[in-house]
Amino acid sequence: MQNDEKLLICKLREGNHNAFEYIFKSYYRVVTLFANRFINDISVSQEIAGDVFTIVWEKREQIDISIALKSYLFKMTQNRCLNYLKHKQIENLYVDYLQRREILNYQPADFEKAFYNKEIAAQIKAAVDTLPPQCKAVFTLSRYQHLKYKQIAVKLDISEKTVERHMSLAFEKLRQLLKYDFSKDQIKTS
């Protein structure tokens, strides 16, 4: 890292608006184009670049850059892009799930029911997120990607018995976390 860049980062840490403006003007376009290589959507890339610079300003006092500023910004951008893509992948899996079950075409007569179903889906997602990583991976591959236990075992390099054990653990933990009485729900909505 060059001395000019060290001085610039030092001024940024002190809250110097001119230093931040200089960094923003120097790197915003490049960071946006770098993000667009991952995302392939210029408006989303601009949003990610804006988020990167917002974080730089908000956490300026904690910035500890031992590499070139451009490399630091690119790494931050790359991480935000990967998070965005992971989130998009989950959204796509959910939409695919809804399409397979023809839920997207469903027109609920009662909007309260629709809200209630959305609330249940959010509870299920939150419960799945609390599963241990390996257990969550097995459950996700089984339930969202519809892989058979043998395929999951090959993909994760574990035995089929381990897959079965993880699925049992997942169902047990989800039952405990959700504590959902379907018979009550059926009575309410009938």
- Give the residue extent of every domain in the chain: 3-91, 107-189
Q: What is the mean pLDDT of the chain?
A: 82
DSSP H helical ranges for 14-159: 17-39, 42-58, 69-100, 111-129, 133-143, 149-156
Q: What is the pLDDT of residues 67-81, one digit of tens each?
A: 788 999 999 999 999
Structure-model confidence comparison of residues 121 and 78, the more confident one: 78
Confidence of residue 113 (pLDDT cuts 50, 70, 90): low
Top-ranked range on mean pLDDT: pick from 14-18, 60-64, 86-90, 106-110 = 14-18
Residue 109 is given by DSSP the state S
Identify the band that residue 64 occupies on the pLDDT scale cut at 50, 70 and 90: confident
Rounded Cα distance between 130 and 125, Å, is 9
* pLDDT band at residue 107 using 50, 70 and 90 as cut-offs: low
Domain 3-91 of CATH type 1.10.1740.10 = yes
Task: Tell me the C-alpha distance between 58 and 52, whole Å.
Answer: 10
pLDDT tier for residue 91 given thresholds of 50, 70 and 90: confident
Q: Who wins on pLDDT, 123 or 62?
A: 62
> Is the CB of residue 104 less than 8 Å from the CB of residue 117?
no
Q: How far is CA 93 from CA 53, 69, 88, 106, 122, in A?
A: 30, 36, 9, 18, 15
| Closest among 120, 126, 135 to 186, alpha carbons compared | 120
Domain 107-189 has CATH 1.10.10.60: no
